[in-house]
Every structure is written in C-alpha cells, then in structure tokens.
Chain A
Amino acid sequence: MRYVWKTLRVLLVTAFLLALISAGGLLALLKWPQWVVNPKMFARLAHFSSRFGAVIGWDSAEIYPTSYSLFHKRFDFSFNHFCFNVKQNTQQGCLQKLQLGFEIEWKWKERRLKILDLGPLVAEGADVSILLPPAEKKKKESLLSLDVPDVVLPPLLQDAVFRNILLDFKRLEIKQGQDTYSGSFQLSMEPVEGKLGDVFVQAALEEGFGLKSAEFHAQVHSDSHFLKNDWLLTGNADLSLPSQATLKGSVKLYQVRPGFYSFEVGPEWAQGPIHAQLSMNGSVGKGQIKGAAGGEVAGFSKQVHRVTFQKCAFDLRQLDKNFGRARFTLDCPLKVGMTPVKLPSATATYKITLPENLDFIAKTNLETSFLPSLDKEVSGTLDLQLIPVEQQDYQARGTASIRFSGVPSRYPSGWSITSDLDASALIPHLQRWVKSLNQTAFAVPAPLNPLEGTVTLGVKGKVDIARNLGELPVVFKTELKSKDQTVNTDGKGTLKYQYSKTASKSDLTLDLMLSDLVLSLPRFGYSSLPTLFPDKRFYNPNVHKKVFRHDTFDYHVRIQTSPEHPARLVSNLAKENIPLSLDLNLENEKLGGSVQVGKTPLHFFRRDAEVERFKIVLKEPQDQSEIRGRLRVSYVDYKIDIIILGTVGRPTVLFQSDPPLSQDQVLSVLIYGRTFDDLDENKANSVASASAAFADKAIALGSLFLLASTPIESIGYNPSTGLFSAKIRLAEGTSLNLATQEGKTQQAGIRKNLGGNWIINTYIQNDTVTNKQSGGAMLEWNKRY
C-alpha cells in the first residue's frame, strides 16, 4: 500500500511539475510568442509537413509576432516566393508574395477569441494549379432557385478592423475530369474607415466552359459593410464564344428578401451579321423566375432585317421539385422590321422603294426543365399573331399556333411540332398597286392595268414543322373590273412542302376558276401581226437563263372557266365578245390543257361568219399543240366550213361547202368572194398559191387569220423554200413568170399584176430558129374560161 501511495505521490508530484512547467511554458509562449512563431520554427514545421504529403516552402519569410498583453497578440507574416504542393500534386502553386496580418485577443468575459484586425491580406503573383475530382452529377435540378448564401460577415469578424485585401492570381488553373479552366483572377477590397468596403472581382478566362475567352468584372457592395445581408452585385462580362460569336452584357443582382432576388441583365450577342441586344429585368424566387424583357435582334436577312420586342412578360416557374420541371410563359409583341422592298425600275437603272413593316404578338406556354437542359423534354405552344395591317395598299392578318414537344438534344427524333396557320393578305385597291408598280420592272401590264378591285390571298392549315412537312390550303380570289373588262377569279389549292438540308421541295396545287373574265384585245388592223415575244433563237451567253428546278418547287395550277360563264375576249375583229372556255394546266413552266372558242359571230374573210367551235389542246412544245376548229362562212349561194386540224405549227386547213365545191373553188370564194372560174389570171394564181400553201401546211394560224381579215391582192407560195407571202390591197402584187415554148422560143421575164385580168409582162424572147432575140414589155389581158 505504501508503495502504492509512494508511487502515486511520485506521479502526482511529477504531474504537478509537468503542469507547472507546461503552464510556465505556455505563459512564456504567451509572453514571448516569438519563441515559436518565427521563421525557423515555420521552416521546421514546413519541413516536418512533408512527412504528411504536404510540401511547403518559401525563399524567405518575415514573421513578426507582436504581444500587446498576454492574451492580445498581432501576427504579421510575409513570405517571398511561397510554394506549396499538397495532396499528391493535386493542389500546387507558388505565390510571389504572401502577406497576412491579423490581431487577436482572448476575451475572458465573452470567453471567445476575437479578431480585432484583419489584414493586410495580400497574395501576389499567384500561379496555382488545382486538380479536382470529377464532378458528380447533381441529382437536384433546382439550381435556378438561386441558392445564394447570405453574404454577411461572421460574428468573429464583425468587429474587426479590415485592412487591404488583394488576391491576385495571375494564373489559376483548375482541372476537373476532362475539363480544364484557366485564367486569371483578382479580388480586392479597400476598407472604408476600417470596415469592409466594396469587393472588386476581376477575372479573365482563357479556357473552359466552352468559351474561347471571357472577362468578368464584378463589384459587390454592401451599405452595412456586410454586417447585414444587403449586398448588391453589379458586373459585366465579355465572352467570346465558339463559332465567332460574342456575348457581353451587364448584370445587377440583389436580394429582395431571403431567397428572393431581383435582377437586371442586359446581354448583347453577336454572331456574324446577327446582332441581338436584350434588356431583361425580373426576379428570381424559389422555383420561379419572372420578369419582362425587351430588345432587338438584327441582321437576319436582307428582307427581314430587324425584330424588336418590348415589354415581353415571361415567367419561368418550377413545377416539380424532384424532377425540376418548369413552365415557361411568354407574352411578347414583336415588330418585324422588313427592309423596304426595292424593285428595279422599268429600265433597272434605279430602285423604287415600297415600305413594309409587320407587327406580331408572340405568346408561348411551354413545359421544360427548370434548368435549361438539352436532355429534358420541352413541350408547349407558341402562338404568333400578325397584328392586322390595314393600309391603303394592302391588308394582312395571320395567326400561327404552334404546338411542340420533344427532347432538344434528340431533335428531330421524337419531336412533334405542329402549327395551325391562318393568314391572309388583301389588296383592297389594285389601282394603288398599279400606280406603285407602274415605274417598276414589275408593272401590271396592259390590258390588266386599268382593272380596279380586290385581290385576296390566304393560307390556312396545319404544318408539321418537326418533320419539315406542311400542307397549307391556299385561297386566291380576285374581283377586278374596268370599263370593258372583268377579272373575277376564285382559286383554291394546297401548298405542300417538305424541307430538308439536302433536298427541300414544295408543291403548289391551285384550282383557279375564272368565274367572270372579260379581256380586251388590242385593235388589229389590216397588216401583219407584229412579233410580240422575243425570238428565243437569240441568246446572250452572259445571261444564264433561269432553269426551273423541279426538284425544289413544283406547281400545278389549273385554270378553268365555268361552262355557264366562259371568258370573253373583246376584239375589234369580232362583232360580239368572243367566248373562251379555258381548261389550262400550268405545270412547272409547261402549259397544257385546252382553250376552246365557243360559238361566236365574227367578220371572217370579209363576210359574216361564225366560229362553231375552235379548240386548242396545248402541248409542249407549243407549236405541237393540237387544233380542232370549224368556222362557217355564209354566202348567198354557199355555206363554207373551214375545218382546222393538226398542230399549231403545221395546221391542216380543210374546206367544205354546201353545195360541194372543190378546194380551189372554196378558197376562191373565201379569198375573193367569187368562184375560181370567175377569177382573173392573177387571182387564180393567188388562189393556187394559197391552196398549195394550205396543202403544204405552210400557213400558220396567224397567216390564216390575216388572210381572212385582209383584202388580198395576191398570194405567193414557193414550195421549194416553203416561203408563203401575201400582198394586201394597195401593195403591188408581183408574181414571177417563166415560160418556155417547146422548140421555138424561150421566154423569161416578169409578170406584174395591174389588177383584174391585166398584167404587164416584160420578157426576153429568143427565136432559136432565126436567132433573133428581143426584149419587150406587153400589157396583157388574160382570161381562162
């Protein structure tokens, strides 16, 4: 027992002595902290730390502990070229200068350590590299709840006196998985009367976040010097995005109440010719962002150069905490700034401007992930409404209601985007367009330019945008009238389209009913018809003819007249309007179908005549179009039917008469009003030439028309060359005569018609028997009987 007690006593004494020594040592350290807080001791600690995987070192260090009392100290550390490498090279770097100073005091009454002074804190010339473990995907998708921690000084620092803080990382590199972020970072703060002042942050990103480069400037201000959570963050950023895009803008963020922030952002984005400027303000609450936006996007295309929007109210609301779903609504008036249409003048030497602007309202309501994510389904509607335009030149209205759903990253797979389109445009007064376009290259041509009235074009239907497929019913209607003309049409059709990057195609099918069409033809006289269209045989190698691309656009327009109301042509050559039944198919620059002239009286071959029927079945090329026609010319003694068959290029003209006459007799009656037997020599020859030309199909329809309309003096036809000619009255009719009398004389000369049976015959005559030759002129009267 005694040994036990002795042993205990020895231990107690030893412990007391140790405690006494420790207390003494502690008191000594408190009294003279420089004993342990000195460069040598730090160097030993740094050396010793290497055993724990942390390599720390510096070139020189200055450590100044200052003891104001036993429990009131100040320490100032200053390291030159401070380097560290910890956690197996995962965190390493060097600082040119690291300076830290603080003053602390143990408050017995409060029983806590208090920082009385902090700073300066200076880290200059830092070059730090940090390797982070790969980021784990956050399961929580509510980052946009903006879980910003309170920015308030901890109680430990609230009474501290702050000195300058400067953290200057001239190079900071962070590697996380495959991603590398590098740049520079600087944070500075200058105290205001010893209190924490505005914090300035300046960062430049050289690599990372999918950016080519970025610069950020931010300032955090607190009226209470961060004693309260009353911070205001302002900043701006200038980002250079891949694909030559830039994004820059300003931001202002502050907390309105806990968990509820207000923001203002003003980004500007540019990529190529497109430039967007946005101003947005709103609030971010728990699971909700809402606000209003305005701005403009410019540089889309020459035609649509600018889209501006103001007071676009938006609301992004989280629907489900677990899955982070959100609903986004937008109500946005849009003004589409269209480049004024510039049409070339008639001579294409200058442009004529036709101003244009369109206003829309866009409304959307879509469900998406609260966080913008390409891997989450988006679904909703987008309503576009064209604010009705009611100008003197045109009126237009339209709506497009688009429903869509799908995962953006999988587009177009699994996407459904359908749109109900309903749009129409109305020209209330065609004459205004006629006048506007008059000087342009797209002037409304005669005889349509006197027409006045309305032209309506509308589309209504569903479009499958996801499959780039659409089918739009099209409506076209005109109600036009002028003094002698009417153009009332009613067209219905469908515009189908399919779009793809490689092969887009659209297809317009339109049935156009000419419910009432009366058109005036120009006044024709008794002379040859002028050539109204350019001769396609002439070409300019520098002007490439636009080739119609059937692989991109097909159109099928059927133009019809109703059986009850055929179109009518007004002509000075017809006694009454010429009824015209049309059934035309216009397909990809090819005109097919038929044109049929109904029964109509007219002056033909200088007689009262009637077109019983005349039909052209159009084919390509157009001179291969088939003709079927029958005209009846009535005489006192005869009724002559002119039957036209064959093709436009080579019409076959047959003649029938009642009572029956031979073809030359019929021609004679038609051209000269008398039977062949009563004709003089010249006219008989003309009839013969006409007959030859008809038989040879050398008389085009236009020539037949002229023959029928013109007082014919003589007709010539050269079957060798196929050249047909007709001389009209008042012109000189000349025909060539060549005569050889067997064995006796040869005679060559010119016969010149003087009218009736009279001709002047100039000749040369060789008498091969007497070898006499004589030339002369004879006035001759000839008659066959």
Chain B
Amino acid sequence: MRHRLAIFSLLLSLSLVPLSARATASLLSEQEICPGRLVLRNSPKIKFTEIEKSFLCGDPQIDAWKYIPPAQVKFQLETFLQDRGYFQPRFTEEGDELVAELGEALHVTRIEAVGAPPSLDLRKRRGVVGRLLNPRLLDREEKWVEAQLKAQGYACPVVKSRANVLTGEVKIDIDPGRKQNVTSIDVEPVRRMNSEVLRRFDAFEVGKPFNNDFLTLTSKRVEKDGILQSTHFIPECREDGVALTQKTIAGKPRLISVGFGGDTEQYAIVKTSWRHTRLGRNASLFDISLFGSYKRQELDISNSWYLSPTARWHLMPVLTFSHDREAQYHFVSANAKFAFANSWDNQNLGLQYSFGPNLNYVDTFRGAQPGVTRLLSLQYDFHLASHYFEFYSNSPRTGFRLGLVGDFTNKNLLSEITAERFRLDGEYLYNFRGYDPPLLIFGVRGGFGGTFLKKDPQSLAALPPNYRFYLGGSTDLRGFGRQELSGPGLDGALSMAFTSFEIRLANVLPLWMQPIAFMDVGILGNQAFSFQLPVYYSPGFGVRCESPIGVFRATLARGFKSGGNDGVTDNTHLQFFISFGEEF
C-alpha cells in the first residue's frame, strides 16, 4: 500500500503542475501592457502573447510597426479581449497613455438552437451556461452540435453560432440537411494489402444511417490493431447518400517495442514486443511479447491468421509461457492454444468471440497441490459491447459490455482433472438524462463465475489457482483487500458472484474531481452454482480524477459480511484503494 501511495503521490504531483502554474485570476489595480502607452486598470491580469504585444505596443525592430496609434491599439485590444471573454472594455486617455478597464468577463447565460431537428436536444448540453463566452466556446459548441448531428445521420450539417455580447445569450443556427445512409466506401489502397481487410474493423453498416462516431471508432480500432499507422474517413454527401473515402497511412508493418516501468500490482516491469501487423495480403497479425516483473514473467507468441480478405473469421494460435508468484499461489504455466475467432458488428453492437483447444501445463509450487498439472481445454471467449461503450472507453459514460469466457477440460482427454470453468461479467453505464458532458453516471457491474469439478479432494487439490475464484479488490468488492476473500475454508472458491452499484458525479467539481459512491455485494461458494454465506458487502465512496495523464481513482470502503462465518475474523475492515487508469 505504501508503494502504491508513493506512486500515486508522484503522479498526482506531476498532474498538478499545470494547476499550480495556472494563476488564479485576481483583480489588479493596474497592469502596464506597453510602458507609457497602454495600461489595464481595475482588471484581471491578462497575459498577451509576444505577437499580440507587437500589435499593441509596436515592434521596435520593424520601422513600419514601431508605433501603433491609439485607435489601432484600441481596435486590436478589443479583438484580443474577445478571446478572453471581454466584450465591452471602456477606454480613456491619460495623456498619451490609453487606459482600458475591462469590466466583467462575459459568461454564457443561455444557449438556444434554431432550426435543430427534434432529435437534437440542446438541453442535454451541459457546461455551457456560466462558461466564459469567447470565440473558442462558439467554435466548440458549433463542433459539438455538428458532431451530434453527424452522429444522428446528418452527414453534412451547416452550423453557425452567434452571441449577444450584452446578455451572453448564444444562438446556434442549424441547417441539418437530410438524414442520409452510408452508400459506399472507397479505400485508399495500401501496398501489398487487400483493401477489403479494413472492413473487418467496421463499427457501422453500409446502407444504414451515417454516424460519424462509429467512423471514428472504426479508425481507432484499425489504429489500435496496428494494421495501419493511421486511417480516417472522409464523407461526401451525395443525392443518394453518403459516400465514404477511407484514407490510409500504412506505416511500416513491423513494430518493435521495449518498455520499462512500474505497476500498482507488480511493481517494476519490463516489456518487449515485436509485431508484424500485415502478414500477407490479408493482413494477418503475428506478435511476440515478453513481459517480466517480480511477480510474473510471461512470453506470448500469437498469431491472428485471416484466410480471406473479406472474412472476419481467423485462426488464432497462441503459445504462452508464464511464471506467476502471488501471495496465495506460485506456479509455472505453459499454454498452447489454437482458437477460431470471429467478430461481428451491426449499427449498435460489436461482438468478438473465439473458441478452440488450449493445452495447458501448470507446475504448481504453492496454492494447490504441488506438481505438474496438464489440462487440455476447449476455451471459449465472447465479448459483446455496445459501440458507444467502446467509443467512450477512455471516459466511460454510457453503454454496456458483456463478457463470457470459459473452458472445458476432461480427464479423459489429455487432462489430469475434469473441470469446466466459466465467467460471465458485464458492465452497464447510464448517463443520467444523457447530458454531455455527463452530470451523473450510474454504473452497474457484475460477475458470475464457477468451476465445475468433481467433488473429490484429489481433483480439488490438483485444481490450479487460475481455476479458482477470489473476491476483494478494486475490481469487485472494494471494502476488502485484493483477492482477500477466497471462500469459507477454501484456497480459492469454485463459484463467485458479485455486483456493484456506483454513482459518479461528473464534471461538477474543479480539478477534474468526480466524487463517487458505491455499494458492492458478493458471495463465494465451494462448488459451481452453489454459494455459501456469508454475503460480503462493502459500501463506500471515493473520488475519480480524470487528469491529463490518466484516470486516478481513490476509494474508501468498509467491508462487511452478513449471514454467516467464513472462518476469517480480520477481513472486515476499512479498505482504501488508489488505482490508476482504472474505470469503474
């Protein structure tokens, strides 16, 4: 914990550096902008750029711009002050000196859309009223409206804003144009790659309404995969619909990466990888990655092999060698997996799934019966997520995801035990009244898992740690320590269920602070679909900080158990967590 706090403190202090530099606006009696020429009086401190100053004070190095007459200074100052929200400065002259009193900065009092389609509700736009009124705000709101319309099928809207400098009222004039469907996609060719392979990343459907957010999501998927360095879509509105042109920047196909760093769980880590992102014309993926930390060392060799350019089906052989040393277990594992994988998207949802055999050797030193365990399992993995959950994954606010992973092993089929493991987990986020930026975000998270195993001690003893379930920690029950709960009298439970409710107040407090309150409830059992009391629950609260370098979360919760005794007396306590990068 102390280590985590140290890292947090370091990162927090780094993130707050810009804050300390941001001086709080204070009313100065006099601020001399150009000595003897221009002074601001009874005004907040204003910083002008060097170029702005040359337009206000003149540039002694250029004869033609040495002297700026007062009227021109006034004109330029008024223009520059617009950027800072001052629209009615008062000017006086004291000798040759121009004295400006800026008055109060103007803030937005009301925003109204004119000509908006019914689907665009400007009341859902938060954080505008009360904000400093300046050209950037108008730009931003125009862009926001445009983005909203483009997400609703209006591919080529015309949006113009205007603002009343006396009242602070903003009106946005909208000509949304027609709602249109995507009719075609034209891809800029990539050398030695079949252009059609890019369609496997599509988060939209041709023939369905245009949604620019999903085009962006598609681009992000491509770039995340690494198949291309960059890609983006250019929509063109035509009579029959929207024609898309997908621009591509391929970049080199091979990527080597070496990393050193720290982790909240594993402390110092080293990571290297080598990837080839465009193997063959179908742009298959080959990846070798090496991960090393004090607790875990892992070598992954994987390949995603596409047989057809248009198909999303692909073969996914994976070889993994790992060594895990945790407080409750210690083992070496080797996996050889051959999976069939596919993905599917419609206008709203994206589904990824894979299944295939996995041969796993585990040499357990601690946490289960020591010795080598061999498991041949049929693994399956389904992930369903709404596009907007994926779109906002960096700043979660809406949508859902659902994951189901599991495997089957059988003693009669090259496995030393018969076990069936599954885990279903999901998450649903609700943005209260659809505000943007959100005001209140309700989240529900849950998980349900179990391992079917013969009820004999040999099988239980041979069951490797990664077939067991633990609760506790920032991912499920936040009132308990990480994986502190292992079930009544067990070294890891065989069934698990938990749910978490969370409410987050977003974009209200300064300094990116977002307070949260939550309640986690969970239960463990000694066999699949069978749960034993006690019920664990942990109410708590915390704060989420969305800083420029990542998301910090700090939670304080109290763990309780109810309805039974798990034989552990010291596991109900206050628990403090700090996480970095974690959402929910």
Cβ–Cβ contact B582 & A446, under 8 A: no
Known: A520-B63, A783-B256. Is A775-B233 also a contact (CB below 8 A)? no
Q: Which of B62, B138, B475 gathers the greatest number of chain A CB atoms within 10 Å? A: B62
A443, closest chain B residue (CB): B69
B193 neighbours in A (Cβ, 8 Å): none
- Mask: chain A, 561-600; 1 = CB below 8 Å from B; 0 = not: 0000000001010000000000000000000000000000
Q: Which of A442, A692, A776 contacts B580 (CB 8 A)?
A: A776
Cβ–Cβ contact A778 & B260, under 8 A: yes
A41 at the interface (CB under 8 A from B): no
Cβ–Cβ contact B581 & A775, under 8 A: yes
Known: A444-B69, A720-B213, A761-B259. Is A533-B229 also a contact (CB below 8 A)? no
Cβ–Cβ contact B82 & A534, under 8 A: yes
Cβ–Cβ contact A777 & B352, under 8 A: no
A734 neighbours in B (Cβ, 8 Å): 548
Known: A523-B61, A722-B143, A783-B256. Is A539-B162 also a contact (CB below 8 A)? yes
> Min CB distance, B215 to chain A, in Å?
7
B526 at the interface (CB under 8 A from A): no
Q: How far is the CA of A141 from the CA of B262 in the complex (A)?
A: 120
Q: How far is the CA of A445 from the CA of B212 in the complex (A)?
A: 46
Q: How far is the CA of A348 from the CA of B304 in the complex (A)?
A: 74
Q: Which of A20-28, A169-177, A384-392, A746-754 contacts B (4 or more CB under 8 A)?
A: A746-754
Q: Which of A347, A717, A752 contacts B93 (CB 8 A)?
A: A347
Q: How far is the CA of A736 from the CA of B220 in the complex (A)?
A: 11
Q: Which of B64, B254, B258 contacts A785 (CB 8 A)?
A: B254
B221 neighbours in A (Cβ, 8 Å): 740
Cβ–Cβ contact A779 & B260, under 8 A: yes
Q: Which of B51-59, B410-418, B567-575 contacts A (4 or more CB under 8 A)?
A: B51-59
Known: A742-B304, A743-B381. Is A748-B393 also a contact (CB below 8 A)? yes
B143 neighbours in A (Cβ, 8 Å): 721-723
B393 neighbours in A (Cβ, 8 Å): 738, 740, 746, 748
A413 at the interface (CB under 8 A from B): no
| Chain B, 388-434, CB within 8 A of any chain A CB | 390, 393-394, 403, 405, 423, 425
| Chain B, 100-151, CB within 8 A of any chain A CB | 135, 138, 143-144, 146-147, 150
B195 at the interface (CB under 8 A from A): no
| Chain A, 187-220, CB within 8 A of any chain B CB | none
A80 at the interface (CB under 8 A from B): no
Cβ–Cβ contact B51 & A519, under 8 A: no
Q: Which of A446, A687, A774, A777 contacts B72 (CB 8 A)?
A: A446
Q: How far is the CA of A530 from the CA of B54 in the complex (A)?
A: 11
> Min CB distance, A713 to chain B, in Å?
16
B58 neighbours in A (Cβ, 8 Å): 446
B224 at the interface (CB under 8 A from A): yes
| Chain B, 34-73, CB within 8 A of any chain A CB | 49-52, 54-55, 58-59, 61-73
> Min CB distance, A525 to chain B, in Å?
6
Cβ–Cβ contact B224 & A776, under 8 A: no
B220 neighbours in A (Cβ, 8 Å): 738
A765 neighbours in B (Cβ, 8 Å): 581
B80 at the interface (CB under 8 A from A): yes
Q: How far is the CA of A742 from the CA of B68 in the complex (A)?
A: 62
Known: A537-B135, A739-B224. Is A785-B229 also a contact (CB below 8 A)? no
Q: Which of A532, A761, A769, A776 gathers the greatest number of chain B CB atoms within 10 Å? A: A776
A602 neighbours in B (Cβ, 8 Å): none
| Chain A, 643-683, CB within 8 A of any chain B CB | 664, 676-677
Cβ–Cβ contact B249 & A691, under 8 A: yes
Q: How far is the CA of A378 from the CA of B314 in the complex (A)?
A: 106
B251 neighbours in A (Cβ, 8 Å): 664, 676, 684, 688, 784
B135 neighbours in A (Cβ, 8 Å): 531, 535, 537-538
Q: Which of A444, A696, A740 contacts B234 (CB 8 A)?
A: A696
Cβ–Cβ contact B582 & A773, under 8 A: yes
A6 at the interface (CB under 8 A from B): no
Q: Which of A88-96, A104-112, A354-362, A478-486 contacts B (4 or more CB under 8 A)?
A: A478-486
| Chain A, 60-78, CB within 8 A of any chain B CB | none
A313 at the interface (CB under 8 A from B): no
B258, closest chain A residue (CB): A781
Cβ–Cβ contact A743 & B259, under 8 A: no
> Min CB distance, A725 to chain B, in Å?
12
Known: A482-B63, A533-B79. Is A742-B341 also a contact (CB below 8 A)? yes
Known: A720-B213, A775-B263. Is A537-B162 also a contact (CB below 8 A)? yes
Q: Which of A539, A664, A774 contacts B249 (CB 8 A)?
A: A664
Cβ–Cβ contact B263 & A695, under 8 A: no
Cβ–Cβ contact A684 & B69, under 8 A: no
A250 at the interface (CB under 8 A from B): no
Q: How far is the CA of A437 from the CA of B70 in the complex (A)?
A: 10
A502 at the interface (CB under 8 A from B): no
Q: Which of A438, A539, A746 contacts B165 (CB 8 A)?
A: A539
A345 at the interface (CB under 8 A from B): yes
A527 at the interface (CB under 8 A from B): yes
Known: A742-B304, A752-B549. Is A776-B264 also a contact (CB below 8 A)? yes
A447 neighbours in B (Cβ, 8 Å): 62, 64-65
Q: How far is the CA of A500 from the CA of B542 in the complex (A)?
A: 79
B4, closest chain A residue (CB): A775
| Chain A, 338-396, CB within 8 A of any chain B CB | 345-350
Q: Which of A484, A752, A766 contacts B475 (CB 8 A)?
A: A766
- Mask: chain B, 328-342; 1 = CB below 8 Å from A; 0 = not: 000000000001010
A780 at the interface (CB under 8 A from B): yes
Cβ–Cβ contact A450 & B580, under 8 A: no
Per CB-CB distance, the 10 closest pairs between chain A and chain B, nearest first, are: A688-B230, A764-B581, A447-B64, A778-B261, A776-B263, A346-B70, A443-B69, A520-B64, A780-B259, A347-B91
Mark B residues whose CB is within 8 Å of A. 7, 11, 49-52, 54-55, 58-59, 61-74, 76, 78-80, 82-83, 87-88, 91-93, 98, 135, 138, 143-144, 146-147, 150, 160-166, 212-213, 215-216, 219-221, 224, 229-230, 232-234, 247, 249-266, 269, 271, 304, 316, 339, 341, 343, 352, 354, 381, 383, 390, 393-394, 403, 405, 423, 425, 447, 466, 469, 473-476, 548-551, 579-583
Query: 12 A-B Cβ contacts within 8 A?
Result: A484-B63, A522-B65, A535-B82, A537-B162, A538-B82, A541-B166, A542-B166, A688-B249, A719-B215, A736-B394, A742-B304, A761-B259
